[in-house]
Structure 1
Amino acid sequence: MARAEQPLKCPSAQPGMGDVQILGVISRDADEPRLAYLDEALPATPPVLELAAPLDVSQVFRLSARCEERKCTHFDGVDCQLAVRIAKMLPEVVDQLPACNIRRDCRWFRQEGRAACLRCPQILTGNHEADEVLREVAGVPRLSR
């Protein structure tokens, strides 16, 4: 299969998706959690995912997987709207492209370019502590007051 025909990868995947790998580990050393990218892809096998226990996998790891396109609520048939919202609504958190092991096949990078990458380290899949802006970016309905 030629490089151009490789399926794009979702950089914010869930364990049950296809071809799941560990993109990075969530670092909580700074004021805000950030993704520490792995140098090389690591298959998200059950024994690796179990290392997150007793925490939820998404509190320890960020996963990448084959983009599920039409199966995903963020995909509009052409683009990932999550990537659009990330690039438009979130501040940059790094000033250079992170060392990412999926960039050449990443849907967010292919679609939104550098703008997505400069915001990517702040994305936590399944972030239950997300503020209002992150909830809106994720497409989560606003909390009623």
Structure 2
Amino acid sequence: MTPTLCPSAPANAADAQVFAVIGGSPAMPEVQYLDQAVPLSAELVASVAPALPTEVFRLSGACAQGPDCWHFDEARSACRLAIRTVRLAPVAVHKPPRCAIRAQCQWWAQEGVSGCLRCPQVVTNDLAASALYRRVADPFNHDDAA
């Protein structure tokens, strides 16, 4: 089975790829999806400095699906971040955006269209995150309990 992709991967992931660019404002981020994912290169990282790549890009990488990811629940074989995003975050769009990684995305595989409808507001490293989004992103938050 082909491993799924995390749509909120860290920049240091060996296989990190940019699949979207974050625009809008810090208060209202807007994700613009690329037609094709591109490898995160040193040139791309340098082009956004001093910002972190995860403040400007949405990155995908192989889903760790285990103890290397604080968000992954091995007992349920599920991404708790995806669960919390669907349970707590409001719908951002009314139809799923075109997305270069959907076919391999862990959130899509796990949460289906509900994850996609919230994805455009996700910023992996959001320095201006609201209390709600900090709650969604907190790996120690158990609002995803079954």
State the one-letter code of the partner of 2:46. Answer: E
Kindly state the Cα deviation for residue 56 of structure 1 after the two structures are TM-superposed.
1.8
Kindly state the Cα deviation for residue 110 of structure 1 after the two structures are TM-superposed.
0.2
What TM-score do the two structures reach when normalised by structure 1? 0.89
Taking only the aligned residue pairs, the percentage that are identical comes to: 38
Counting helix residues as a fraction of each chain, which structure ranks higher?
1
Which stretches of structure 1, 4 residues or longer, exceed 6 Å deviation after superposition? Answer: none
Kindly state the Cα deviation for residue 54 of structure 1 after the two structures are TM-superposed.
2.3
Equivalence map 1:1-145=2 (5 Å): 5-28=1-24, 32-70=28-66, 71-77=68-74, 78-139=77-138
Change (3 A) 1:140 1:66: closer
SS in 1 for 2:19: strand
Structure 1 runs not aligned, ≥5 long: none
SS in 2 for 1:59: helix
Structure 2 runs not aligned, ≥5 long: 142-146
Paired residue total = 138
Change (3 A) 1:45 1:55: same
SS in 1 for 2:8: strand
Kindly state the Cα deviation for residue 18 of structure 1 after the two structures are TM-superposed.
3.0
C-alpha distance in structure 2 between counterparts of 1:34 and 1:16, whole Å: 23
Deviations along 1:65-93, whole A, 9 cap, x unmatched? 11111110000111000000001111111
What TM-score do the two structures reach when normalised by structure 2? 0.89
C-alpha distance in structure 2 between counterparts of 1:33 and 1:20, whole Å: 21
